[in-house]
Amino acid sequence: MNQLLKEMMAHANPSQVAGLSRFFKTGPGQYGEGDKFLGIKVPVTREVVRGCWKEMLPADWQERAVRSDTPFPELEECIRSEYHEVRLAALLTLVEIFKHAKKSPVKPMCVDFYLAHTPFINNWDLVDLSCYPLLGEWLLDKDRSQLYDLARNGRTLWEQRIGIVSTMTFIRHGQITDTFSIADILLHHPHDLIHKAVGWLLREAGKKDKTALEDYLLGPEPDRHAGLDPAPPRYLTMPRTMLRYAIEKFPEAERRAYLAGTILR
């Protein structure tokens, strides 16, 4: 019996389904179209995961790895669930396994499993609660080109969001360059969920180094306005929502000046 799935199904709360469905935009044409909910709030899901995660790594995981079988058969079942909360539980469980694996071979197996299942990481909370404590943490001391590729060539806006949100781990370690570089890739993305994510990560980078964020906002975009003299600063050309998120912690007078477009270098 899949204990994680069993526990999640036992916590279903039909009275919460309609509200969660609205909140995560599951209507026709919305970004979460067709997703299904059990009515389980995130704190309850986290509680279930705390009680189950140790059982989700089977005793024969090494043999499975040699055979190229999934090392996490029960998580495989959960990540493919039609229910949003069960997919979230699978991701949070994977994060727990990764976090406690130290330097064992389980860590890269977690990363491989995560990247192989991005089609099921298909809403902003599933991305934001899993990518930086797992993928971002894994890449902290490694080449980060994978995040640039996700941002630039991601098959879905969720993969692209993974590219930028994973840099939260770097920011928390005082490393903000990748956030600015990946933000440039996504600066003119058409979807507001990317605008919000990029603005959010820029704001977090600015908490570490406000001057660096100001330099980014006031600097010209690479190549986009080549030939214009002077090239316009980024903050005048980026989506309004992205700018609002990025400058949210600025002093009020400064924030208003940015929104009015009167800040110049």
Quickly state the pLDDT bin for 162 (edges 50, 70, 90): very high
Give the pLDDT confidence of 33-54 residue by residue, as tens digits. 999 999 999 999 999 999 999 9
Q: Residue 170 and residue 132: Cα distance in Å, rounded?
A: 9
Q: Residue 171 and residue 167: Cα distance in Å, rounded?
A: 6
Give the mean pLDDT of 177-206: 98
Q: Residue 76 and residue 73: Cα distance in Å, rounded?
A: 5
Omega of the bond leading into 251 within 30 degrees of 0 (cis): no
Per CATH, 1-129 and 144-265 having the same topology is answered yes
Quickly state the pLDDT bin for 61 (edges 50, 70, 90): low
Rg of the chain taking only CA atoms, in angstroms: 20
Give the mean pLDDT of 168-188: 98
Within 30-121, residue ranges assigned H as helices are: 42-52, 61-66, 73-79, 84-100, 106-116
Q: Is 75 helix (H, G, I), strand (E, B) or coil?
A: helix
Close Cβ partners of 206 (under 8 Å, ≥ 6 residues apart): 212, 213, 214, 246, 247, 249, 250
Q: Using CB atoms within 10 A of its CB, is residue 79 exposed (0-12), middle (13-18) or buried (19+)?
A: buried
pLDDT recorded at residue 65:
60
pLDDT recorded at residue 70:
72
Give the mean pLDDT of 125-151: 98
Give the pLDDT confidence of 75-132 residue by residue, as tens digits. 999 999 999 999 999 999 999 999 998 767 889 999 999 999 999 999 999 999 999 9
Measured CA distances, 200 to 21, 134, 204 (Å): 24, 19, 6
Residue 66 has pLDDT above 60, yes or no: no
pLDDT recorded at residue 228:
64
Specify the pTM.
0.93
Residue 188 has pLDDT above 70, yes or no: yes
Closest CA to 80 of 89, 57, 107, 23: 89
Residue 160 has pLDDT above 60, yes or no: yes
The DSSP string of 7-20 is HHHHT--GGGHHHH
- The residue ranges of every structural domain in the chain are 1-129, 144-265
CB 252 within 8 Å of CB 263 = no
- 3.40.50.720, 1.20.58.1000, 1.25.10.90, 3.90.420.10: CATH of 144-265: 1.25.10.90
pLDDT recorded at residue 221:
86
Segment among 67-81, 90-104, 146-160, 249-263 with least mean pLDDT: 67-81
CATH topology of domain 1-129: Leucine-rich Repeat Variant (1.25.10)
Q: Residue 38 and residue 81: Cα distance in Å, rounded?
A: 11
Determine how many CB atoms are found less than 10 A away from the CB of residue 260: 8
Residue 240 has pLDDT above 60, yes or no: yes
Residue 3 has pLDDT above 70, yes or no: yes
Among all chains, which residue has been given the structure tokens 């406690």? 100
pLDDT recorded at residue 60:
66
200 versus 72: the higher-pLDDT residue is: 200
CB 8 within 8 Å of CB 48 = yes
Measured CA distances, 121 to 4, 78, 90, 225 (Å): 18, 12, 10, 35
Give the pLDDT confidence of 206-239 residue by residue, as tens digits. 999 999 999 999 999 887 666 666 788 999 999 9
pLDDT recorded at residue 265:
72
Mean pLDDT of the chain: 93
Quickly state the pLDDT bin for 68 (edges 50, 70, 90): low
Q: Is 36 helix (H, G, I), strand (E, B) or coil?
A: strand
CA 170 to chain centre: 13
Quickly state the pLDDT bin for 159 (edges 50, 70, 90): very high
CB 26 within 8 Å of CB 34 = yes
Give the mean pLDDT of 242-248: 98
